[in-house]
Amino acid sequence: MTEIRSSSAGSAPAEVPGSAAVVGCGVIGAAWAARFRLHGVPVKAFDPSPDAARIVDEVSANAVAAWEDLGLPAELASIEFCDSVEEAVAEAELVQESVPERLELKQSTLAAVDAAAPADALIGSSTSGLLCSDMAANLTHPERLLVAHPFNPVYLLPLVEVVGGKATSAETIDRAMSTYRGLGMKPLHVKAEIDAHIADRLLEAVWRESLWLVNDGIATTEEIDDAIRYGFGLRWAQMGLFETYRIAGGEGGFGHFIRQFGPALSWPWTKLMDVPDLTDELVDRLESQSDEQSGAYTVRELERIRDRNLAAMMLALETNQWGAGQTVAEMRERLDRS
């Protein structure tokens, strides 16, 4: 059952950077730091928040536990907190920026990174929605800036969306693909710059529809989550939308499917195109339903439950030599060799 088709990572060789800087140490930045350190890459970090060190500690502990679940060597390379962006990035081969999603903040932070990082450093931004070209506005060397958008938990989920801006060089994209592959990830090169890239586009479509369902009193947050995780969510851990429905087309293939089901699928598409207002009442309803659904666990407990489940499913897929399991297998081979 070996998955033989061409990978989105292409034939990029896997390269592990010699050092990395993490700028912004919230949950995303801290999880990047953990992934780097678990690959033996020493990290320098900068975050002005007094909570940064605690978040790094907590996320690192989760990451180590998850890698132990995967049966991977779970040793953390060093991390050093710096007093400035400049100090953190001065010697970094890879800089990962994960500051809050405000364009001005991204621009000023990246300008500081650009001014202080080695000329040949890769600069990846974790932005989930902003355009690389917009963020590159103030840079002297915009050719080495790219979007590298990961998914929580970053130390475990393989996907990273790699997007260049107008000024990003082809060499930067090639190096980024090799580097993130070397960090055990599945880099997906998104060829066009659009708001929210690919995955968050899909996620936001689901958000929009889900908020309507709650807003209109059709379903609770728990019912919506159950509709996902007992059904199509299981499918999507191993095949996406198109491959799944190719099967539904039978021997006639995907064209047969889409020609047959297209018209039937189209009618609900014409509805609920608007966006519900995020009123206080809707926010309160979402909050109380979420408490009802998940309040028996702390967030720390939920994180560990999530990570144990992800690791177990990824191991299962590794046995089957498929999808995210293949990414784990490749990572395991490299880590066991080193």
Contact 38, 76 (CB under 8 A): yes
Of 61, 103, 174, 254, the residue at the interface with a copy of itself (CB under 8 A) is 254
Query: Does 129 contact a copy of itself by CB under 8 A?
Result: yes
Contact 116, 85 (CB under 8 A): yes
Which residues have CB under 8 Å from 193's CB, separation 6+? 131, 132, 133, 163, 164, 165, 166
Residue with smaller CB distance to a copy of itself, 71 or 205:
205
Query: Tokens 């407990």 label which residue?
Result: 301
Which of these segments, 71-79, 108-116, 172-180, 248-256, binds a copy of itself (CB under 8 A)?
248-256
The alpha carbon of residue 82 and the mean position of all alpha carbons in its chain are separated, in whole angstroms, by 25
Distance of closest approach, residue 46 Cβ to a copy of itself, in angstroms: 21
Query: Does 105 contact a copy of itself by CB under 8 A?
Result: no
Residue with smaller CB distance to a copy of itself, 171 or 265:
265
User: 17 to 36, contacts with a copy of itself by CB under 8 A?
Assistant: 27
Residue 168 in 3-state DSSP?
Answer: coil
- List, in sequence order, the alpha helices (H) in 199-279: 199-215, 221-227, 233-236, 241-248, 253-269
Distance of closest approach, residue 3 Cβ to a copy of itself, in angstroms: 9
Report how far residue 220's alpha carbon sits from residue 222's, in angstroms, rounded to the nearest whole number.
5
Query: Does 131 contact a copy of itself by CB under 8 A?
Result: no
Encoded tokens for 181:
């592959």
Residue 276 in 3-state DSSP?
Answer: coil
Q: Name which of 312, 303, 301 is nearest 70 in CA terms.
A: 312
Query: Does 166 contact a copy of itself by CB under 8 A?
Result: no
Distance of closest approach, residue 271 Cβ to a copy of itself, in angstroms: 7
Per-residue CA distances from 168 to 140, 177, 306 (Å): 12, 13, 35
Of 141, 322, 332, 334, the residue at the interface with a copy of itself (CB under 8 A) is 322
Residue with smaller CB distance to a copy of itself, 171 or 301:
301
User: 184 to 243, contacts with a copy of itself by CB under 8 A?
Assistant: 186, 188, 190-192, 194-196, 198-210, 213, 216-219, 221-243
Query: Does 90 contact a copy of itself by CB under 8 A?
Result: no
Query: Does 259 contact a copy of itself by CB under 8 A?
Result: yes
Of 24, 124, 142, 158, the residue at the interface with a copy of itself (CB under 8 A) is 158
Contact 214, 282 (CB under 8 A): yes
Encoded tokens for 216:
């209109």
Report how far residue 129's alpha carbon sits from residue 114's, in angstroms, rounded to the nearest whole number.
21
Report how far residue 151's alpha carbon sits from residue 158's, in angstroms, rounded to the nearest whole number.
8
Which of these segments, 33-41, 103-111, 134-142, 305-313, binds a copy of itself (CB under 8 A)?
305-313
Which of these segments, 4-12, 17-25, 37-45, 113-121, binds a copy of itself (CB under 8 A)?
4-12
With 0-12 CB in 10 A as exposed, 13-18 as middle and 19+ as buried, what is 327? Answer: buried
Query: Does 87 contact a copy of itself by CB under 8 A?
Result: no
Residue with smaller CB distance to a copy of itself, 84 or 232:
232
Query: Does 316 contact a copy of itself by CB under 8 A?
Result: yes
Residue with smaller CB distance to a copy of itself, 119 or 192:
192
Encoded tokens for 142:
């915009």
Of 151, 172, 176, 182, the residue at the interface with a copy of itself (CB under 8 A) is 151
